[in-house]
Amino acid sequence: MTTFQVRTFGCQMNKHDSERIAGMLAERGMTVAPEGDIADVIVFNTCCVRENADERLYGQVSSLTGVRRERGTIIAVGGCIGQRDGEQLLRTLPMIDVVFGTHNLARLPELIDAAADSPRPVVEVEDPSDADFTADLPSRREHPWHAWVPVTVGCNNFCTYCIVPYVRGRERSRSMEDVVAEVHALMADGVVEVTLLGQNVNSYGRDLYGAPRFAELLREVAATGVPRIRFTTSHPKDLSTATIAAMAELPAVCRHLHLPLQSGSDRILKAMNRRYTQADYLALVAQLYEAMPDLALSTDLIVGFPGETEEDFEETMLAATAAHYDAAFTFIYSPRAGTPAASMAEQIAKEVVQPRFDRLVSLVQSSALAKNVPLVGTVQRVLFEGASKRDGAVLMGRTAGNKVVHVRSHAALAGTFADVRIDDAQTWFLLGTLISGTGDA
Ligand code: SF4
Protein backbone atom coordinates (compact mmCIF):
# COMPACT_ATOMS: atom_id res chain seq x y z
CA MET A 1 0.00 0.00 0.00
CA THR A 2 1.71 3.18 -1.12
CA THR A 3 -0.91 5.78 -1.94
CA PHE A 4 -3.91 7.20 -0.08
CA GLN A 5 -6.79 9.60 -0.51
CA VAL A 6 -8.85 11.20 2.26
CA ARG A 7 -12.38 12.32 1.38
CA THR A 8 -13.80 14.73 3.94
CA PHE A 9 -17.44 15.55 4.63
CA GLY A 10 -18.60 18.12 7.15
CA CYS A 11 -17.23 20.68 9.52
CA GLN A 12 -13.84 22.21 10.38
CA MET A 13 -13.31 19.59 13.09
CA ASN A 14 -13.48 16.94 10.36
CA LYS A 15 -11.12 18.91 8.12
CA HIS A 16 -8.66 19.00 10.99
CA ASP A 17 -9.09 15.27 11.64
CA SER A 18 -8.45 14.64 7.93
CA GLU A 19 -5.18 16.56 8.13
CA ARG A 20 -4.20 14.30 11.01
CA ILE A 21 -5.20 11.16 9.07
CA ALA A 22 -3.06 12.37 6.16
CA GLY A 23 -0.19 13.14 8.56
CA MET A 24 -0.27 9.66 10.09
CA LEU A 25 -0.37 7.90 6.72
CA ALA A 26 2.41 10.13 5.34
CA GLU A 27 4.51 9.27 8.40
CA ARG A 28 4.12 5.63 7.37
CA GLY A 29 5.73 6.45 4.01
CA MET A 30 2.49 6.64 2.03
CA THR A 31 1.88 9.44 -0.46
CA VAL A 32 -1.27 11.20 -1.63
CA ALA A 33 -2.63 9.54 -4.79
CA PRO A 34 -2.17 11.76 -7.86
CA GLU A 35 -5.34 13.53 -9.04
CA GLY A 36 -7.49 11.11 -11.04
CA ASP A 37 -5.73 7.93 -9.78
CA ILE A 38 -7.41 5.35 -7.58
CA ALA A 39 -5.55 5.21 -4.26
CA ASP A 40 -4.48 2.00 -2.49
CA VAL A 41 -6.30 3.26 0.61
CA ILE A 42 -9.36 5.53 0.51
CA VAL A 43 -10.45 7.02 3.84
CA PHE A 44 -13.88 8.59 4.21
CA ASN A 45 -13.99 11.04 7.10
CA THR A 46 -17.72 11.50 7.51
CA CYS A 47 -20.26 13.79 9.12
CA CYS A 48 -23.80 12.96 10.17
CA VAL A 49 -24.97 16.47 11.01
CA ARG A 50 -26.49 16.93 7.55
CA GLU A 51 -28.63 14.34 5.85
CA ASN A 52 -26.92 14.47 2.46
CA ALA A 53 -23.62 13.34 4.04
CA ASP A 54 -25.15 9.86 4.55
CA GLU A 55 -26.31 9.81 0.94
CA ARG A 56 -22.93 10.97 -0.35
CA LEU A 57 -21.15 8.28 1.63
CA TYR A 58 -23.43 5.52 0.39
CA GLY A 59 -23.11 6.75 -3.21
CA GLN A 60 -19.33 7.14 -3.16
CA VAL A 61 -18.52 3.88 -1.35
CA SER A 62 -20.89 1.88 -3.57
CA SER A 63 -19.23 3.27 -6.67
CA LEU A 64 -15.88 1.84 -5.47
CA THR A 65 -17.06 -1.78 -5.39
CA GLY A 66 -15.41 -2.59 -8.75
CA VAL A 67 -11.99 -1.03 -8.02
CA ARG A 68 -11.90 -2.65 -4.62
CA ARG A 69 -12.41 -6.06 -6.20
CA GLU A 70 -9.95 -5.49 -9.07
CA ARG A 71 -7.19 -3.53 -7.29
CA GLY A 72 -7.61 -4.53 -3.66
CA THR A 73 -8.16 -0.91 -2.63
CA ILE A 74 -8.84 -0.65 1.10
CA ILE A 75 -11.88 1.42 2.05
CA ALA A 76 -11.95 2.93 5.55
CA VAL A 77 -14.90 4.89 6.98
CA GLY A 78 -14.56 7.01 10.10
CA GLY A 79 -15.83 10.28 11.55
CA CYS A 80 -19.33 10.79 12.88
CA ILE A 81 -21.07 8.17 10.72
CA GLY A 82 -18.44 5.58 11.71
CA GLN A 83 -18.98 6.48 15.36
CA ARG A 84 -22.79 6.48 15.11
CA ASP A 85 -23.30 3.32 13.03
CA GLY A 86 -20.22 1.20 13.86
CA GLU A 87 -20.58 -2.39 12.69
CA GLN A 88 -24.07 -1.69 11.33
CA LEU A 89 -22.51 0.21 8.42
CA LEU A 90 -21.33 -3.15 7.06
CA ARG A 91 -24.93 -4.28 6.58
CA THR A 92 -25.57 -1.65 3.93
CA LEU A 93 -21.97 -1.25 2.71
CA PRO A 94 -20.31 -4.68 3.06
CA MET A 95 -17.41 -3.60 0.84
CA ILE A 96 -15.99 -1.43 3.66
CA ASP A 97 -12.71 -2.81 5.11
CA VAL A 98 -12.29 -0.57 8.18
CA VAL A 99 -14.84 1.26 10.35
CA PHE A 100 -13.35 3.56 12.99
CA GLY A 101 -14.89 5.98 15.48
CA THR A 102 -14.17 9.64 16.13
CA HIS A 103 -11.95 8.64 19.06
CA ASN A 104 -10.05 5.91 17.24
CA LEU A 105 -8.28 8.14 14.76
CA ALA A 106 -4.82 7.49 16.21
CA ARG A 107 -5.25 3.76 15.59
CA LEU A 108 -6.15 4.09 11.90
CA PRO A 109 -2.76 3.03 10.44
CA GLU A 110 -2.84 -0.19 12.55
CA LEU A 111 -6.46 -0.85 11.59
CA ILE A 112 -5.57 -0.49 7.90
CA ASP A 113 -2.67 -2.95 8.34
CA ALA A 114 -4.98 -5.37 10.14
CA ALA A 115 -7.58 -5.12 7.37
CA ALA A 116 -4.92 -5.81 4.72
CA ASP A 117 -4.10 -9.09 6.49
CA SER A 118 -7.66 -10.09 7.26
CA PRO A 119 -10.45 -11.46 5.11
CA ARG A 120 -12.96 -9.78 7.44
CA PRO A 121 -13.64 -6.09 8.01
CA VAL A 122 -12.01 -4.44 11.04
CA VAL A 123 -14.25 -2.34 13.30
CA GLU A 124 -13.03 -0.18 16.20
CA VAL A 125 -15.43 2.31 17.76
CA GLU A 126 -14.74 3.54 21.28
CA ASP A 127 -17.44 4.91 23.56
CA PRO A 128 -16.85 8.70 23.32
CA SER A 129 -17.27 9.11 27.08
CA ASP A 130 -14.20 6.89 27.66
CA ALA A 131 -11.99 8.77 25.24
CA ASP A 132 -9.09 11.11 26.02
CA PHE A 133 -8.16 14.23 24.12
CA THR A 134 -5.80 13.10 21.37
CA ALA A 135 -4.10 16.19 20.02
CA ASP A 136 -0.49 15.15 19.50
CA LEU A 137 -0.82 13.34 16.19
CA PRO A 138 1.20 14.19 13.09
CA SER A 139 -0.66 16.43 10.69
CA ARG A 140 -0.37 17.12 6.97
CA ARG A 141 -1.86 20.60 6.65
CA GLU A 142 -3.86 21.65 3.61
CA HIS A 143 -2.10 25.04 3.67
CA PRO A 144 1.38 25.39 5.21
CA TRP A 145 0.50 28.81 6.68
CA HIS A 146 -2.79 27.83 8.36
CA ALA A 147 -3.50 25.34 11.13
CA TRP A 148 -6.61 24.11 12.93
CA VAL A 149 -5.91 23.89 16.66
CA PRO A 150 -8.51 21.95 18.64
CA VAL A 151 -9.11 23.39 22.11
CA THR A 152 -12.16 21.35 23.07
CA VAL A 153 -13.83 18.23 21.73
CA GLY A 154 -17.36 17.06 22.40
CA CYS A 155 -20.34 19.08 23.57
CA ASN A 156 -22.57 19.21 26.65
CA ASN A 157 -25.39 21.24 25.17
CA PHE A 158 -27.73 18.67 23.62
CA CYS A 159 -29.54 20.99 21.22
CA THR A 160 -32.51 18.85 20.30
CA TYR A 161 -31.72 18.70 16.55
CA CYS A 162 -28.02 17.84 16.93
CA ILE A 163 -26.25 14.49 16.96
CA VAL A 164 -22.82 15.85 17.97
CA PRO A 165 -22.99 15.17 21.75
CA TYR A 166 -23.88 11.53 20.98
CA VAL A 167 -21.02 10.94 18.53
CA ARG A 168 -18.31 13.26 19.91
CA GLY A 169 -19.12 12.75 23.60
CA ARG A 170 -19.06 15.22 26.48
CA GLU A 171 -16.95 18.35 26.29
CA ARG A 172 -13.28 17.94 27.14
CA SER A 173 -10.77 20.81 27.08
CA ARG A 174 -7.12 20.71 26.29
CA SER A 175 -4.80 22.41 28.75
CA MET A 176 -3.83 25.99 28.02
CA GLU A 177 -0.12 25.09 28.14
CA ASP A 178 -0.68 22.39 25.54
CA VAL A 179 -2.53 24.72 23.17
CA VAL A 180 0.09 27.47 23.53
CA ALA A 181 2.95 24.99 23.00
CA GLU A 182 1.30 23.76 19.81
CA VAL A 183 0.87 27.30 18.50
CA HIS A 184 4.58 28.02 19.15
CA ALA A 185 5.54 24.84 17.27
CA LEU A 186 3.21 25.71 14.38
CA MET A 187 4.70 29.20 14.09
CA ALA A 188 8.18 27.69 13.92
CA ASP A 189 6.81 25.60 11.06
CA GLY A 190 5.63 28.66 9.10
CA VAL A 191 2.03 28.99 10.29
CA VAL A 192 0.71 32.59 10.34
CA GLU A 193 -2.97 31.92 11.05
CA VAL A 194 -4.51 29.53 13.55
CA THR A 195 -8.17 28.64 13.99
CA LEU A 196 -9.01 27.50 17.52
CA LEU A 197 -11.60 24.77 17.22
CA GLY A 198 -14.32 23.43 19.46
CA GLN A 199 -18.04 22.69 19.28
CA ASN A 200 -18.45 25.52 21.78
CA VAL A 201 -15.15 27.31 22.36
CA ASN A 202 -16.79 29.75 24.79
CA SER A 203 -17.07 27.11 27.46
CA TYR A 204 -13.39 26.17 27.02
CA GLY A 205 -11.79 25.17 30.30
CA ARG A 206 -14.96 24.62 32.37
CA ASP A 207 -14.14 20.92 32.81
CA LEU A 208 -10.44 21.55 33.56
CA TYR A 209 -10.46 24.75 35.58
CA GLY A 210 -13.99 24.84 37.07
CA ALA A 211 -14.97 27.90 35.01
CA PRO A 212 -14.68 28.89 31.32
CA ARG A 213 -11.35 30.51 30.47
CA PHE A 214 -11.64 31.17 26.76
CA ALA A 215 -10.85 34.89 27.05
CA GLU A 216 -7.65 33.99 28.87
CA LEU A 217 -6.81 31.40 26.25
CA LEU A 218 -7.19 34.04 23.52
CA ARG A 219 -4.79 36.31 25.40
CA GLU A 220 -2.26 33.49 25.88
CA VAL A 221 -2.41 32.50 22.21
CA ALA A 222 -2.07 36.14 21.13
CA ALA A 223 1.03 36.42 23.35
CA THR A 224 2.77 33.82 21.17
CA GLY A 225 2.91 36.46 18.43
CA VAL A 226 0.96 34.45 15.87
CA PRO A 227 -0.28 37.08 13.40
CA ARG A 228 -3.89 35.89 13.03
CA ILE A 229 -6.22 34.04 15.36
CA ARG A 230 -9.68 32.81 14.44
CA PHE A 231 -11.99 30.61 16.46
CA THR A 232 -15.15 28.65 15.96
CA THR A 233 -17.84 27.90 17.12
CA SER A 234 -19.36 30.19 19.75
CA HIS A 235 -22.56 29.33 21.58
CA PRO A 236 -24.39 32.61 22.35
CA LYS A 237 -25.29 31.52 25.89
CA ASP A 238 -21.58 31.22 26.78
CA LEU A 239 -20.11 34.22 24.95
CA SER A 240 -18.76 36.34 27.80
CA THR A 241 -18.02 40.03 28.17
CA ALA A 242 -14.40 39.02 28.88
CA THR A 243 -14.17 37.26 25.50
CA ILE A 244 -15.67 40.26 23.69
CA ALA A 245 -13.14 42.52 25.44
CA ALA A 246 -10.26 40.21 24.48
CA MET A 247 -11.41 40.20 20.85
CA ALA A 248 -11.65 43.97 20.82
CA GLU A 249 -8.25 44.51 22.46
CA LEU A 250 -6.07 41.93 20.73
CA PRO A 251 -5.05 42.95 17.19
CA ALA A 252 -4.23 39.35 16.25
CA VAL A 253 -7.77 38.15 16.96
CA CYS A 254 -9.76 38.54 13.74
CA ARG A 255 -12.78 40.83 13.82
CA HIS A 256 -15.02 37.99 12.72
CA LEU A 257 -17.42 36.06 14.87
CA HIS A 258 -19.54 33.08 13.91
CA LEU A 259 -22.47 33.17 16.32
CA PRO A 260 -25.21 30.66 15.46
CA LEU A 261 -28.71 32.03 16.04
CA GLN A 262 -30.60 29.01 14.58
CA SER A 263 -34.03 30.61 15.06
CA GLY A 264 -35.36 34.03 16.01
CA SER A 265 -38.46 32.62 17.72
CA ASP A 266 -38.27 32.19 21.50
CA ARG A 267 -40.72 29.30 21.29
CA ILE A 268 -38.58 27.45 18.75
CA LEU A 269 -35.34 28.31 20.56
CA LYS A 270 -36.84 26.68 23.65
CA ALA A 271 -37.84 23.60 21.66
CA MET A 272 -34.28 23.50 20.30
CA ASN A 273 -32.91 23.70 23.89
CA ARG A 274 -30.71 26.65 22.91
CA ARG A 275 -31.09 28.41 26.28
CA TYR A 276 -31.25 32.02 25.05
CA THR A 277 -34.00 34.25 23.69
CA GLN A 278 -34.06 36.51 20.67
CA ALA A 279 -33.65 39.47 23.06
CA ASP A 280 -30.61 37.86 24.72
CA TYR A 281 -29.04 37.23 21.33
CA LEU A 282 -29.67 40.73 19.98
CA ALA A 283 -28.36 42.28 23.21
CA LEU A 284 -25.16 40.32 22.67
CA VAL A 285 -24.98 41.50 19.06
CA ALA A 286 -25.41 45.11 20.19
CA GLN A 287 -22.61 44.64 22.73
CA LEU A 288 -20.37 43.16 20.03
CA TYR A 289 -20.94 45.98 17.54
CA GLU A 290 -20.40 48.54 20.27
CA ALA A 291 -17.05 47.00 21.16
CA MET A 292 -16.10 46.37 17.51
CA PRO A 293 -18.03 48.50 15.00
CA ASP A 294 -16.14 46.82 12.13
CA LEU A 295 -17.00 43.28 13.27
CA ALA A 296 -18.03 40.79 10.59
CA LEU A 297 -20.79 38.58 11.98
CA SER A 298 -21.91 35.25 10.56
CA THR A 299 -24.42 32.71 11.75
CA ASP A 300 -26.29 29.43 11.21
CA LEU A 301 -30.05 29.48 10.66
CA ILE A 302 -32.46 26.55 10.54
CA VAL A 303 -35.79 26.95 8.73
CA GLY A 304 -38.70 24.58 9.29
CA PHE A 305 -37.85 23.18 12.74
CA PRO A 306 -40.79 21.02 13.95
CA GLY A 307 -43.72 23.23 14.91
CA GLU A 308 -42.35 26.40 13.26
CA THR A 309 -45.29 28.65 12.35
CA GLU A 310 -45.34 31.58 9.96
CA GLU A 311 -45.10 33.86 13.05
CA ASP A 312 -42.05 31.99 14.33
CA PHE A 313 -40.39 32.36 10.96
CA GLU A 314 -41.15 36.10 10.90
CA GLU A 315 -39.25 36.34 14.20
CA THR A 316 -36.23 34.76 12.49
CA MET A 317 -36.49 37.31 9.66
CA LEU A 318 -36.71 40.09 12.23
CA ALA A 319 -33.70 38.91 14.21
CA ALA A 320 -31.63 38.29 11.06
CA THR A 321 -32.43 41.82 9.85
CA ALA A 322 -31.43 43.31 13.20
CA ALA A 323 -28.16 41.35 13.40
CA HIS A 324 -26.80 42.72 10.07
CA TYR A 325 -25.08 39.50 9.12
CA ASP A 326 -22.10 39.38 6.78
CA ALA A 327 -22.81 35.72 6.00
CA ALA A 328 -25.09 32.91 7.11
CA PHE A 329 -25.29 29.19 6.61
CA THR A 330 -28.99 28.59 6.07
CA PHE A 331 -30.44 25.10 6.37
CA ILE A 332 -33.80 23.49 5.89
CA TYR A 333 -34.39 21.35 8.98
CA SER A 334 -34.02 17.63 8.39
CA PRO A 335 -34.43 15.11 11.20
CA ARG A 336 -31.31 13.31 12.44
CA ALA A 337 -32.09 9.84 13.76
CA GLY A 338 -31.42 9.55 17.48
CA THR A 339 -32.10 13.22 18.31
CA PRO A 340 -35.18 14.38 20.27
CA ALA A 341 -36.35 16.70 17.45
CA ALA A 342 -36.57 13.78 15.02
CA SER A 343 -39.52 12.35 16.94
CA MET A 344 -41.28 15.67 17.60
CA ALA A 345 -44.77 16.03 16.23
CA GLU A 346 -45.44 18.72 13.64
CA GLN A 347 -42.64 18.07 11.20
CA ILE A 348 -43.10 20.74 8.53
CA ALA A 349 -43.78 19.89 4.90
CA LYS A 350 -41.14 20.87 2.32
CA GLU A 351 -43.61 22.98 0.33
CA VAL A 352 -44.26 25.09 3.44
CA VAL A 353 -40.58 25.47 4.30
CA GLN A 354 -39.14 26.22 0.86
CA PRO A 355 -40.70 29.71 0.41
CA ARG A 356 -39.54 30.64 3.93
CA PHE A 357 -36.06 29.41 3.15
CA ASP A 358 -35.93 31.38 -0.13
CA ARG A 359 -36.99 34.57 1.66
CA LEU A 360 -34.31 34.08 4.32
CA VAL A 361 -31.57 33.41 1.76
CA SER A 362 -32.51 36.57 -0.08
CA LEU A 363 -32.45 38.57 3.17
CA VAL A 364 -28.98 37.22 4.02
CA GLN A 365 -27.72 38.10 0.54
CA SER A 366 -28.93 41.70 0.86
CA SER A 367 -27.42 41.93 4.33
CA ALA A 368 -24.06 40.58 3.12
CA LEU A 369 -23.93 43.08 0.26
CA ALA A 370 -24.93 45.92 2.57
CA LYS A 371 -22.01 45.01 4.86
CA ASN A 372 -19.55 44.81 1.91
CA VAL A 373 -20.40 48.08 0.14
CA PRO A 374 -18.94 50.39 2.84
CA LEU A 375 -15.61 48.58 2.46
CA VAL A 376 -15.12 50.07 -1.03
CA GLY A 377 -12.29 52.61 -0.81
CA THR A 378 -10.84 51.13 2.39
CA VAL A 379 -7.49 49.35 2.66
CA GLN A 380 -7.71 45.81 4.00
CA ARG A 381 -4.93 43.53 5.24
CA VAL A 382 -5.35 40.33 3.24
CA LEU A 383 -3.82 36.91 3.79
CA PHE A 384 -3.47 35.38 0.35
CA GLU A 385 -4.27 31.74 -0.33
CA GLY A 386 -3.17 31.44 -3.98
CA ALA A 387 -4.61 31.71 -7.47
CA SER A 388 -8.37 31.63 -7.84
CA LYS A 389 -9.67 28.23 -9.00
CA ARG A 390 -11.60 29.90 -11.83
CA ASP A 391 -8.92 32.28 -13.12
CA GLY A 392 -5.18 31.75 -12.71
CA ALA A 393 -4.56 35.50 -13.19
CA VAL A 394 -6.58 36.31 -10.06
CA LEU A 395 -5.20 35.98 -6.54
CA MET A 396 -7.59 35.00 -3.75
CA GLY A 397 -7.21 35.92 -0.11
CA ARG A 398 -9.21 36.80 3.00
CA THR A 399 -9.56 39.85 5.19
CA ALA A 400 -9.58 39.60 8.97
CA GLY A 401 -13.39 39.68 8.62
CA ASN A 402 -13.12 36.46 6.59
CA LYS A 403 -14.24 38.16 3.40
CA VAL A 404 -12.91 36.74 0.16
CA VAL A 405 -10.85 39.29 -1.80
CA HIS A 406 -9.90 38.91 -5.47
CA VAL A 407 -6.95 40.82 -6.88
CA ARG A 408 -5.74 40.72 -10.48
CA SER A 409 -2.10 39.64 -10.06
CA HIS A 410 0.31 36.81 -10.80
CA ALA A 411 2.42 37.61 -7.71
CA ALA A 412 3.48 34.59 -5.66
CA LEU A 413 1.80 35.71 -2.46
CA ALA A 414 0.25 32.48 -1.15
CA GLY A 415 0.63 32.42 2.62
CA THR A 416 1.65 36.07 2.92
CA PHE A 417 -0.10 39.27 3.94
CA ALA A 418 -0.54 42.33 1.75
CA ASP A 419 -2.56 45.54 1.80
CA VAL A 420 -5.34 45.75 -0.75
CA ARG A 421 -7.43 48.76 -1.69
CA ILE A 422 -11.02 47.60 -2.14
CA ASP A 423 -12.43 48.81 -5.49
CA ASP A 424 -15.72 46.94 -5.72
CA ALA A 425 -18.06 44.92 -3.50
CA GLN A 426 -20.15 41.93 -4.51
CA THR A 427 -22.38 39.82 -2.25
CA TRP A 428 -19.81 37.13 -1.48
CA PHE A 429 -16.49 38.74 -2.42
CA LEU A 430 -14.57 41.98 -2.78
CA LEU A 431 -12.42 43.11 -5.70
CA GLY A 432 -9.28 45.10 -5.00
CA THR A 433 -5.87 46.35 -6.06
CA LEU A 434 -2.64 45.31 -4.43
CA ILE A 435 -0.88 48.22 -2.80
CA SER A 436 1.81 46.43 -0.77
CA GLY A 437 3.04 42.97 0.05
CA THR A 438 5.52 42.41 2.82
CA GLY A 439 4.70 39.03 4.25
CA ASP A 440 4.35 40.53 7.72
CA ALA A 441 1.11 40.78 9.60
S1 SF4 B 1 -23.92 23.47 20.83
FE2 SF4 B 1 -25.78 22.39 20.12
S3 SF4 B 1 -25.59 22.47 17.87
FE4 SF4 B 1 -23.55 22.90 18.69
S5 SF4 B 1 -22.53 20.91 18.77
FE6 SF4 B 1 -23.44 21.24 20.80
S7 SF4 B 1 -25.44 20.24 20.68
FE8 SF4 B 1 -24.73 20.49 18.57
Given the CA of residue 162, which atom of ligand 1 is nearest to it?
Answer: 8
Last residue of a domain, one of 351, 373, 395: 373
Which residues form the domain of 414?
Answer: 376-437
- Regarding whether 420 and 391 lie in a shared domain, the answer is yes
| CA separation for the pair 43, 21 (Å, rounded) | 8
- Regarding whether 268 and 395 lie in a shared domain, the answer is no
Quick one: which of 382, 374, 381, 409 has its CA closest to 395? Answer: 409
| Nearest Cα residue to atom 1 of ligand 1 | 157
Distance in Å, CA 161 to ligand 1 centroid? 9
- Regarding whether 361 and 237 lie in a shared domain, the answer is yes
- Regarding whether 381 and 364 lie in a shared domain, the answer is no
User: What pTM was estimated for this model as a whole?
Assistant: 0.88
- Regarding whether 405 and 342 lie in a shared domain, the answer is no
Q: At what angle do helices 214-222 and 241-249 cross, to 10 degrees?
A: 20
Mutational test site, ligand 1, from 49, 164, 197, max ligand atoms within 8 Å of CB: 164
Last residue of a domain, one of 66, 99, 130: 130
Q: Is residue 268 part of a domain?
A: yes
Q: What is the mean pLDDT of the chain?
A: 92
Quick one: which of 249, 22, 44 has its CA closest to 140? Answer: 22
**Domain of 387: which CATH number?**
2.40.50.140
Report how many domains make up the chain. Answer: 3
Interval 55-77: pLDDT, tens: 888 899 999 988 888 888 999 99
Distance in Å, CA 102 to ligand 1 centroid? 16
Interval 132-170: pLDDT, tens: 666 667 788 889 999 999 999 899 999 999 988 988 889
| Nearest Cα residue to atom 4 of ligand 1 | 199
**Domain of 9: which CATH number?**
3.40.50.12160
* Amino acid making up residue 428: W
Q: Is residue 138 part of a domain?
A: no
| Nearest Cα residue to atom 8 of ligand 1 | 162
Residues near ligand 1 (Cβ within 6 A): 155, 157-159, 162, 164-165, 199-200, 235
- Regarding whether 422 and 381 lie in a shared domain, the answer is yes
Cα dihedral across residues 128, 129, 131, 134: positive or negative: positive
**Domain of 347: which CATH number?**
3.80.30.20
Given the CA of residue 163, which atom of ligand 1 is nearest to it?
Answer: 8
Q: Is residue 140 part of a domain?
A: no
- Regarding whether 354 and 227 lie in a shared domain, the answer is yes
- Regarding whether 184 and 73 lie in a shared domain, the answer is no
Given the CA of residue 235, which atom of ligand 1 is nearest to it?
Answer: 1
Q: Is residue 362 part of a domain?
A: yes
Interval 310-369: pLDDT, tens: 999 999 999 999 999 999 999 999 988 889 999 998 999 999 999 999 999 999 999 999
Distance in Å, CA 117 to ligand 1 centroid? 39
Distance in Å, CA 407 to ligand 1 centroid? 37
- Regarding whether 194 and 54 lie in a shared domain, the answer is no
Quick one: which of 38, 167, 174 has its CA closest to 103? Answer: 167
- Regarding whether 71 and 20 lie in a shared domain, the answer is yes
| CA separation for the pair 350, 196 (Å, rounded) | 36
pLDDT of residue 106: 87
- Regarding whether 171 and 153 lie in a shared domain, the answer is yes
Given the CA of residue 233, which atom of ligand 1 is nearest to it?
Answer: 4
